[in-house]
Structure 1
Amino acid sequence: MKYFVIRDGGPVPRALVRTHQGVVETFTGRGEWVEAGPPGTAATEVDAYEFYDHVYEAMRDARAGLPCVALLSTTYRADELINVDAVMRVRDGVEEWLDRDNVWRAEHPDLEGKVRMPISEEELDRLKWTAARPEWFVVHDERDYPYAVVRKIPSAEEAFTRDLRWESSDLLGRTDLRVEKQDYRPSDQRAALEIGVRRDRQRARGGPEYFTLWPRVRFEPAELSSVIRRTKAGEEVCVGHSGWLPSRMLDDIPREYYPFWWVLPISPEEADEILARRAEPRYYHVLSGNDGLDLPHAVVEVDGGHEKAFTWDLAWAPSDLLSRIAEEPDLHVQEFLPDWGPLEATLRMARAVRRRRRSREWNGQFWYHAVFPGRAAVFDLSNATELIRTVAGSHYPEEAYRDGAWTRTYLLEDIGRGKADGEDLPISPAEAEALMRRWSQR
């Protein structure tokens, strides 16, 4: 994410703009973002904290006169109202504050280091659950199936029910339901309820089944990105310009990354919404047979109708691979999830390809490693800062090539343990000799 401030000489910025993955948005004031054109030459790039200071000031001014107040611990991401420590309402002319003690009180909370944000009554109803520390319960029906997840503070009770929304509740007083108190937010039960209800609805609807992948640590609909469908022909993932391609994401991702992702059934309408808001470029693994993510057939970038691939040649090049997947029965596709980065994927693939070549093609007494200052530098050998060798078939002992001689070192071990910075990459004896020649000519 990049942040820009556009000024016209006045005391406040004329516009606030952020960009991410090719999407440009400008801030409207009340907390909404709308798509916009490029920032332009008058824009000044700033860091996130300075940017959100301006966002906070714009929101505070635009919201002046709203009846309630939220206290934020920081202006960072003020537009999302996520750092709420307390909320205030007015009842019978008296200010009442709700914070971590879960009780509305007339006493003013500690304001040191806090910032005030005017909010509406509707926002207050939502944010009180953030400001307080509610008690959590799971309610089971006569089948012992999760009937609802309930949160409660002394002044309110809400339930997330099979209607899949939060609403006012009196379930804790029902004698026909079994109530189970939880020591923490019951995300697993909430997920079981959501997924179970969605699966029942999907089966009742019939036709193609649609899914996305839900990050277990949070449920943020804006972050749902992959759309997968299952038909009689099998599982497919939508890749944009090349349409729907064979996939195994519904089986592979939960198995490989459990407990980080759940498979979430979605409706055709939700699938269309997710596909419509996806930003470019998008990234995909093309997998062959039983090869894992360490050694995919390729990593592919799709940007509109343009495609390029990072293959076993260990370089990006224009590609039409996705358009040919249907003709390659051994290939299938996985879309990158929000926390997968293309640089990380290509580096992992480069290491795997080079390890395979080392065991099959590179012969000699030693194994060689080049060390680079960062991930982005790894794909150009001239960026190497160190050359390390170990005895073939082993990672020990390490020797570094310095000043024309080999000396004992522990650099690879320290990098692996996080005690030293740098990225290492296996290289061939020929590449090692080229590095030594280049360094000897300095």
Structure 2
Amino acid sequence: MKYFVVRDFDSDVRAVVRTGIGGEQIHVGPAGWVRSVMLRYLELTRTPGWARQVTEEEAEAVIAARPARRCFLVWSAEPSHVPFAVVRLDGEREEAYTRELAWGPSDLLAGVAGRSELQVQEQLPTSSNTEAYLLALRYREHLQEHVWKGILYHAIFHDTGQALDLANVVRLVKRDTWKEYEYYGGDEWRPIEWLRSISTGGSAYEHLPISPDEARRLMAHLDEQRLRDDPRR
């Protein structure tokens, strides 16, 4: 069995990994050792130098000193570019953000051993909301390409944390062929070119693809919100 300590660019410990007959495994806290893609990820990102081989005793010492707060990506086969879940750990308290697109109590890490299609990668503990947003964005893009048909709708938010709850929407945009429109209330849409700016990094806002049903609900939500803000409307 070989043991590795993975560090990031700031030289902070990112993960403890071991390899052997059972393949690659990562230590995830109370759930122990589970299947991992950490070393494979380093190879793909051309950062294999972040992993340093250590003795079993050194690995155990690092594990004992790991912080209570941790963050993990759980991967499955399909779709390969979308995590199965983001898991945040605080001691023995575990929560997961899944493709159901919501945070909830979890025992997913302990269950990885019984599901051969799942593998784990550790992230920085402060990145859980960012990783959850990226999961939501990639999965919704997958649904928009393969499931949702017709006009493409996008909800706009102030930041990634706000985007984890559709109720925080501040703008609603749709794309019909090559034209973009923003919802201004009362079933009125006005032409814009804002979504293109957001998707290329030209805006301080974040966006998420949404389904036509979600768009209809958010139209009503924005109408109610505007009415509360300005009862004369």
Superimposed CA distance per residue, residues 172-208 of structure 1 (whole angstroms, 9 cap, x where no aligned partner): xxxxxxxxxxxxxxxxxxxxxxxxxxxxxxxxxxxx2
Q: What letter corresponds to residue 302 of structure 1 in structure 2?
A: L
Q: What is aligned with 1:358?
A: 144
Deviation of residue 423 (structure 1)? 0.6
Are 1:398 and 2:185 matched, yes or no?
no
Q: What letter corresponds to residue 168 of structure 2 in structure 1?
A: N
> Which whole-Å CA distance do the structure 1 matches of 2:136 and 2:122 have between them?
19
Deviation of residue 367 (structure 1)? 0.4
Q: What letter corresponds to residue 69 of structure 2 in structure 1?
A: P
Are 1:427 and 2:219 matched, yes or no?
no
Q: What is aligned with 2:29?
A: 240
> Which whole-Å CA distance do the structure 1 matches of 2:149 and 2:210 have between them?
12
Q: What is aligned with 2:111?
A: 324
Q: What letter corresponds to residue 241 of structure 1 in structure 2?
A: P
Deviation of residue 377 (structure 1)? 0.8
Are 1:210 and 2:34 matched, yes or no?
no
Deviation of residue 382 (structure 1)? 2.1
Superimposed CA distance per residue, residues 123-142 of structure 1 (whole angstroms, 9 cap, x where no aligned partner): xxxxxxxxxxxxxxxxxxxx
- In structure 2, the gaps of 5 or more residues are 228-233
Which of the two has greater helix per residue?
2
Deviation of residue 283 (structure 1)? 1.2
SS at match of 1:430: helix
1:21-420 equivalent positions in 2, closer than 5 A: 208-215=1-8, 217=9, 220=11, 223-255=12-44, 257-259=45-47, 262-289=50-77, 291-292=79-80, 294-337=81-124, 341-364=127-150, 366-391=151-176, 396-404=178-186, 405-420=188-203
Q: What is aligned with 1:186?
A: none
Structure 1 vs Structure 2 CA RMSD: 2.1
Q: What letter corresponds to residue 354 of structure 1 in structure 2?
A: R
> Which whole-Å CA distance do the structure 1 matches of 2:34 and 2:114 have between them?
11
Higher relative contact order (CA 8 A, sep 6+): 2
| 1:422–1:246 distance in 2 versus 1, CA, 3 Å | same
| 1:352–1:278 distance in 2 versus 1, CA, 3 Å | same
> Which whole-Å CA distance do the structure 2 matches of 1:261 and 1:428 have between them?
42
Query: How many positions carry a matched residue from both structures?
Result: 224
Deviation of residue 291 (structure 1)? 4.4
Deviation of residue 345 (structure 1)? 0.8
Task: Decide which structure has the larger Cα Rg and report it.
Answer: 1
> Which whole-Å CA distance do the structure 1 matches of 2:76 and 2:38 have between them?
14
Q: Percent identity?
A: 33
Superimposed CA distance per residue, residues 420-441 of structure 1 (whole angstroms, 9 cap, x where no aligned partner): 2111011111111122223334
| 1:316–1:439 distance in 2 versus 1, CA, 3 Å | closer
Is 2:70–2:124's contact at 8 Å kept on the other side of the alignment?
no
| 1:362–1:400 distance in 2 versus 1, CA, 3 Å | same
